[in-house]
Amino acid sequence: MDAPVKKHFYTGIVKNNDFQTCSDHFRVLVTAMQKTSPLNFFNLLVFGCALAMSPVMLAQETVKPLKALLITGGCCHDYEHQKDILKKGIEARANVIVDIIYVADSNTHPALPIYGHPDYAKGYDVVIHDECAADINDTNIIQGVLQPHQDGIPGVNLHCAMHCYRFGDFTKPLPADAPNAHWYEYLGLQSSGHGPQEPIAITFTDKTGAITTGLADWTTIHEEHYNNIKVHDTAHALAHGTQVIKNKDGQPQRTNDFVVAWVNTYKGKTRVFSTTIGHNNETVADARYLDLVTRGLLWACDKLDADGKPKPGYAAK
């Protein structure tokens, strides 16, 4: 929730036209300066500058940082280092404090302490899922993980989070109400696996949305490219990735084209941003990747302007 806006000593409630108001006041002050002594001129100049800058300073001082909970650990990734890369990168780009829940557990059923505690996200503005927990298949645990998002807390999902909390035959498109499709309903996209690591050419297909505006297409290093079994109607694709799979054993070369970044509206109210990119540390540390993830987080919290910039008070301090 937005922090309440404090009253200001000269205009009352801070509004979008405060800069124009300050400009008008400043012009009046300049006129007064021309008719006063040098000492009073200096004092009025200092006061005028403070008056002009105060809305920006007030916004930064009164807006509390977003509180993000990063959940990470499990199989197949260097989460020990990636958690710190993500925290540093996000906090450098926005007024966000990232708290971390991490377990040094490298199997597909990591013992994350959130399991069995559906109130694990209490007090947080957004949850970042970066765990790899493909074999956590207890429906009660899965419901507990989803509970905060069903209650309206936004979500951000990175890479292997797309392959978590699954069971049954998830290699075929599942209806949203299937018992083993609840995680995919939250994500807005169903993925079941990936091919060999090769570079992925990322193309932003929505170039005017708040998250993507001004972002440039790029090609990753060797990365895992997740398939798309089903894209839900509630999801909106932001970027596609194409990956050329080289010839092997006389087989023809093929090109995979899948959605790699998207947003979803979960249960008609909860904003969710996801990207399948982010297997290797070099990719996670790439400024282009961190820009995308940070914008996705701000969008999920409704703190991103249409031009892709943080709303007042939510830029990095």
14 versus 82: the higher-pLDDT residue is 82
The highest-confidence range among 24-33, 105-114, 125-134, 246-255, by mean pLDDT, is: 125-134
Q: How far is CA 248 from the centre of its chain?
A: 37
At 9 the pLDDT is 24
Q: CA 96 to CA 179: how far, in whole Å? A: 35
The pLDDT tens digits of the residues spanning 26-35 come to 454 445 445 5
The pLDDT tens digits of the residues spanning 40-64 come to 544 544 445 554 544 545 455 689 9
Question: For residue 251, what pLDDT band results from cuts at 50, 70 and 90?
Answer: confident
CB 95 within 8 A of CB 315: yes
- % residues pLDDT > 70 (the chain): 80
Q: CA 259 to CA 203: how far, in whole Å? A: 10
Please report, in angstroms and rounded to a whole number, the separation of the first and last CA atoms in the chain.
19
Among 307, 209, 303, which residue's Cα sits nearest to residue 1? 303
**Alpha carbon separation from 229 to 162, 163, 256 (Å, rounded):** 12, 12, 13
The pLDDT tens digits of the residues spanning 126-143 come to 999 999 998 899 999 999
Among 151, 139, 82, 149, which residue's Cα sits nearest to residue 115? 139
- Residues 250-272 have a mean pLDDT of 93
- Residues 239-260 have a mean pLDDT of 88
Beta pairing class for 155-158 and 126-132: parallel
At 64 the pLDDT is 95
The pLDDT tens digits of the residues spanning 68-95 come to 999 999 899 999 999 999 999 999 999 9
The pLDDT tens digits of the residues spanning 192-248 come to 999 999 999 999 999 999 999 999 999 999 999 999 999 999 999 999 999 999 877
- In sequence order, the 6+-apart residues with CB closer than 8 A to the CB of 9 are none
Beta pairing class for 126-132 and 66-74: parallel
7 versus 261: the higher-pLDDT residue is 261
The pLDDT tens digits of the residues spanning 263-302 come to 999 999 999 999 999 999 999 999 999 999 999 999 999 9
Among 187, 144, 137, which residue's Cα sits nearest to residue 165? 137
Long-range contacts of 49-57 (CB under 8 A, 24+ apart): 51/10, 51/22, 51/25, 51/26, 52/22, 52/23, 52/25, 52/26, 54/8, 54/22, 55/8, 55/14, 55/18, 55/19, 55/22, 56/312
For residue 207, count CB atoms less than 10 angstroms from its CB and return exposed for 0-12, middle for 13-18, buried for 19 or more: middle
The pLDDT tens digits of the residues spanning 151-172 come to 999 999 999 999 999 999 999 9
- Domains of the chain, start order: 7-62 (no CATH), 66-300 (3.40.50.880)
Look up residue 259 and give its amino acid: V
CB 243 within 8 A of CB 256: yes
CB 263 within 8 A of CB 271: yes
Q: CA 137 to CA 134: how far, in whole Å? A: 8
The mean predicted confidence, pLDDT, of the chain is 86
At 25 the pLDDT is 45
Q: Which residues of 127-163 are buried (b: 16+ CB within 10 A; e: fewer)?
A: bbbbbbbbebeeeebbebbbebbeeebbbbbbbbbbb
